[in-house]
Amino acid sequence: MKVKNNLEIKIKSIQKYFWLYILISSFPVISYGQAEIDSLLNNARYEIGKMSFRNAVKYLNEVEKIDSLNPMLIYLHSEMKLIYGEEDFLKYFEKLRSVGADELYHVMKLKHAVFIGLSESKILLQKYLENYPENGEIKFVQWLLELDDGKYEICMKSADEISKGTIFKVAPYLALFNASWDNNYKNAITYIDTVEQIIKREFYGSKYREILEVLSNTETIDLNNGKSELPFAWCGPGVGYYMIDEKGDSLRIKMDTGTGFNLMTVHDKALGERTSGIDILVVENGISYNYMDKPADLYYKKSNFSIPAYRNFIFGYFDSQLIKADGCASPFVFKNRALHIDPINEKVYLLDHENLEKYINDNKDIIEKVPYIVRNGWIYVPCKINGTEVLMQIETGSRDVNFYTLSLDPLGLESYPSSIEWNGQDFPIDKVDCILEIGSIKYEVKGGLVADRVFANWYYGLAAAGDIGPFFMNKFVFTIDMINQQIIFEIK
């Protein structure tokens, strides 16, 4: 009986612990390691949302030590690499596919296509909107493309919602800040405030707050009638014109489609001081170029010019080392005009709407009209590279045709090692050969340069496959038509 009682006790004890085990095992298992990973990833997402990438990388490096194949870890790395246009993006992009993170992989495939301007991106967008209708990153891409299509007012209204759904919380407001330079200066000031509130610091656009206030309260008066001729000027490999102030002093200005914010700058402080007008603002360390040792103070002046005839024309000036011209200007400094440049016969004209239409009608059999996208004063046109349609930036401040590393594979381009002369020295660089088509124009690119990183409007994820420089543009009589948002090429 004693043995039996002990056996019964053991059986009852086993049954009790068995049911206790079943009860405990029904609860979700919380791993301290997983909780730590989630916390680190959330911190990284927060920093990325503010564009604080260095801080984000610190958190991601900690996750790397614990779980190097974590899909979210790989995804966050790929997002940061793409927004900078870094070649390492491709490594993380392939990792997403290898770990089976299909949705994240498709998000990055779409963003990569948009980033280099592939026409395929619109097909991918529709496909992924159907597959992942709640994905905020895909909705963000859709929003960016709508902004590109000129739906500025609509995008303004939906920015808050888009911001909540994307990892880059600040990106829609950066996009609208840039777009506002082309639409409404006062709105640009508002978006400076919004961006600073999110990132808790000043950003690259903060230094423009005061000049935006000046521009928004200044009426620049255009006194040009019909068709106005500007004296032609060669500016190194690029073309430009002379501007003559009301005293008769001249400035040799390079027409530079790579000058953002629709502004003009004079790169010689003495010339800027000499030009007629009044200084209205100085921004300490307000400007920097890659050939400058350190940032320079940027002075703004309100001036009157006789050629072209403008009153209250605002430009900046500073000390620099630019020797190929006195300054450079976006074509968009001339509002509601078309800038007609003839490098062959060395002529430059500003055309009003009536004279532009006359030019188009008189030359309809020999011109090619190419619509462009404008982003903060930068011009992008649809092109074909070896038959694949992409966006390319028109960059008259560059050299010949350049391509970004991340666009090579999608365009079927193979690079080869070469060199380029810079400041009297040879530097190693990769080059490519291809056929570039703009409309009916075909151009053989021999030795197009390959750039490691993208220096376009990457702050909000839109860039291009590369840029087209003055060597191409100078082969044509061309018109930058700001009235109809197109570039007109003469193709005799």
HEC string of the chain equals: CHHHHHHHHHHHHHHHHHHHHHHHHCCCCCCHHHHHHHHHHHHHHHHHHCCCHHHHHHHHHHHHHHCCCCHHHHHHHHHHHHHHCCCCHHHHHHHHHHCCCHHHHHHHHHHHHHHCCCCHHHHHHHHHHHHCCCCHHHHHHHHHHHHHCCCHHHHHHHHHHHHHHCCCCCHHHHHHHHHHCCCCHHHHHHHHHHHHHHHCCCCCCHHHHHHHHHHHCCCCEECCCCEEEECEEEECCEEEEEEEECCCCEEEEEECCCCCCCCEEECCHHHHHHCCCEEEEEEEEEECCCCCCCCEEEEEEEEEEEECCEEEEEEEECCCCCCCCCEEECHHHCCCCEEEEECCCCEEEEECHHHHHHHHHHCCCCEEEEECEEECCEEEEEEEECCEEEEEEECCCCCCCEEEHHHCCCCCCCCEEEEEEECCEEEEEEEEEEEEEECCEEEEEEEEEEECCCCCCHHHCCCCCEEECHHHHCCCCEEEECCCCEEEEECC
Task: Let me know whether 329 and 373 are in one domain.
Answer: no
pLDDT value of position 462 = 74
Task: Let me know whether 398 and 456 are in one domain.
Answer: yes
Task: Let me know whether 274 and 330 are in one domain.
Answer: yes
pLDDT value of position 463 = 81
Q: Is residue 200 assigned to a domain?
A: no
Task: Let me know whether 319 and 412 are in one domain.
Answer: no
pLDDT value of position 320 = 86
Q: Assign residue 252 the CATH number of its domain.
A: 2.40.70
Task: Let me know whether 373 and 299 are in one domain.
Answer: no
Q: Is residue 183 assigned to a domain?
A: no
pLDDT value of position 453 = 65
CA-based nearest residue to 401, from 377, 441, 433, 376: 433
Domain edge (last residue) among 312, 334, 356: 334
Residues linked to residue 252 through DSSP beta bridges, in sequence order: 242
pLDDT value of position 459 = 61
Q: Is residue 33 assigned to a domain?
A: no
Domain edge (last residue) among 309, 334, 359: 334
CA-based nearest residue to 151, from 373, 320, 301, 334: 373
Cα angle for residues 186, 187, 189 (degrees, 5° grid): 65
pLDDT value of position 323 = 74
Task: Let me know whether 376 and 456 are in one domain.
Answer: yes
Task: Let me know whether 372 and 466 are in one domain.
Answer: yes
Q: Is residue 288 assigned to a domain?
A: yes
Q: pTM for the whole thing?
A: 0.89
**Tokens representing 126?**
């529709």
Domain edge (last residue) among 334, 354, 386: 334
Residues 397, 442 contacting (CB under 8 angstroms)? no
Q: Is residue 249 assigned to a domain?
A: yes
Number of domain units in the chain: 2
Q: Is residue 38 assigned to a domain?
A: no
- Reported residue count of the chain is 492
Task: Let me know whether 374 and 317 are in one domain.
Answer: no
Q: Assign residue 455 the CATH number of its domain.
A: 2.40.70.10
Q: Is residue 154 assigned to a domain?
A: no
Per-residue pLDDT of the chain (492 residues; tens, 9 = 90+): 444 444 444 444 444 444 444 443 444 443 448 899 999 999 999 999 998 999 999 999 999 999 999 999 999 999 999 988 888 999 999 999 999 999 999 999 999 999 999 999 999 999 999 999 999 999 999 999 999 999 999 999 999 999 999 999 999 999 999 999 999 999 999 999 999 999 999 998 999 999 999 999 999 999 999 999 999 999 999 999 999 999 999 999 999 998 888 999 999 999 999 999 999 999 999 998 777 788 899 999 999 999 999 999 999 999 987 778 999 999 999 988 999 999 999 999 999 999 999 999 999 999 999 999 988 888 999 999 999 999 999 999 887 899 999 999 999 999 999 988 777 788 899 999 999 999 999 999 999 999 876 655 556 667 899 999 999 999 999 999 999 999 999 997
Residue 96 dihedral angles phi and psi, to the nearest 5°: -60, -40
- Domain extent, residue 486, equals 368-490
Q: Is residue 111 assigned to a domain?
A: no
Task: Let me know whether 381 and 479 are in one domain.
Answer: yes
